[in-house]
Structure 1
Amino acid sequence: MVGSAGGGAKHPDWYHNLLANPRATVETGVFTYEAEALVLRDAERHETFARLAEADPGWAEYQSKTTRIIPVVALTQVAGGPPNAGSFGAALRLIHGAFRRELALVRREVASSGPGIGAQLRINCLTLCRGLHIHHTFESGGLFPSMLERHPELAATITTLEAEHAKIAGLLEALQTLVSTPSTTSVLAAVDELITELTQHLDYEEEQLIPLLD
Structure 2
Amino acid sequence: MKEKNTQFRIKQIESKIKNPKRISLRRKQIIKGAIDVFTVKGFNSATTREIALAAGITEGTLFNYVRSKEDIIYIVYEYITQILRKDMEKAIAGITDPQERLKAALLQNMKTIDVYQDIIMFMYKESHSLDKESLYTVLAREAGYIEMFEELLTAYFGEKKMDPVKIKLAADLLSYIPVIVTFRRWSLKRRFDSMDAVISGILDFILHGIEFAVDMPSL
> Same fold judged by TM-score > 0.5?
no
Q: Which has the higher strand share?
A: 1
Q: Which has the higher helix share?
A: 2
